[in-house]
Amino acid sequence: MKLIVGPLHQVAALAARHRPSHLISLASPGHVDPPLVDLTVRRLDLRFNDIAAPREGLIAPNEADVAALLAFADDWDGADPLLLHCWAGVSRSTAAAYAIACARTAPGCEADWALRLRRAAPTATPNPLIVALADRLLGRGGAMVRAVAAIGRGAETTWGAAFELDLPPQGVLPR
């Protein structure tokens, strides 16, 4: 089970190289994505701004968005990779990958996943609102929020580098 995370401008190459069965696009409202992959890939397209709290004139991620993300990932069997992207591959997509990793494992692994995320992606700065919503939906009692806060903001960058997270079978604790 492999999650591939990257910025929009690398998605076509990542899709060609990894042949994902599922694609999650996290983009701003009104943004038009270029054609990314063939139509055989199952795709979830979520549209909200990359903000940590609601702001006038912008659309914040909400519980329905994160519930849709988790449900889509839960339907993924893991036989082929799941590819996630946002504009820069730094905030929305890293938060989504973290949420999926936590959802696929038992409570108590939140800090381990945050550390794995930091090692895989030094620039990752997971969107705190997405993380908080996933934490609430998964019943983690703030553990996900605390774990992401503990790894801190990622290194400054314009674009995140693509990275992979290997997931254990659902429910199995990572080693």
8 A C-beta contact, residue 51 and residue 43: no
pLDDT tens-digit readout, 116-158: 999 999 999 999 999 999 999 999 999 999 999 999 999 888 8
Any idea which fold 2-166 has?
Protein-Tyrosine Phosphatase; Chain A (3.90.190)
- 158 by Cβ neighbours in 10 Å (0-12 / 13-18 / 19+) ranks as exposed
Please give the Cα distance from 90 to 167 (Å, whole number): 20
Residue 38 has pLDDT above 90, yes or no: no
Residue 169 has pLDDT above 80, yes or no: no
45 forms beta bridges with: 25
Work out the mean pLDDT of the chain and round it to a whole number. Answer: 91
pLDDT tens-digit readout, 84-109: 999 898 999 999 999 999 999 989 99
What pLDDT does 71 receive?
97
Q: Are strands 82-86 and 22-27 parallel, antiparallel or unpaired?
A: parallel
The answer to whether the pTM exceeds 0.85 is yes
Proportion of the chain in helix, strand, coil states, percent, rounded to 5? 40, 15, 45
pLDDT tens-digit readout, 104-117: 998 999 999 999 99
Please give the Cα distance from 85 to 158 (Å, whole number): 15
Please give the Cα distance from 82 to 21 (Å, whole number): 6
List of residues 6+ apart from 44 with CB closer than 8 A? 22, 23, 24, 25, 68, 69, 72
List of residues 6+ apart from 99 with CB closer than 8 A? 66, 69, 70, 130, 131, 134, 138, 144
Please give the Cα distance from 105 to 12 (Å, whole number): 29
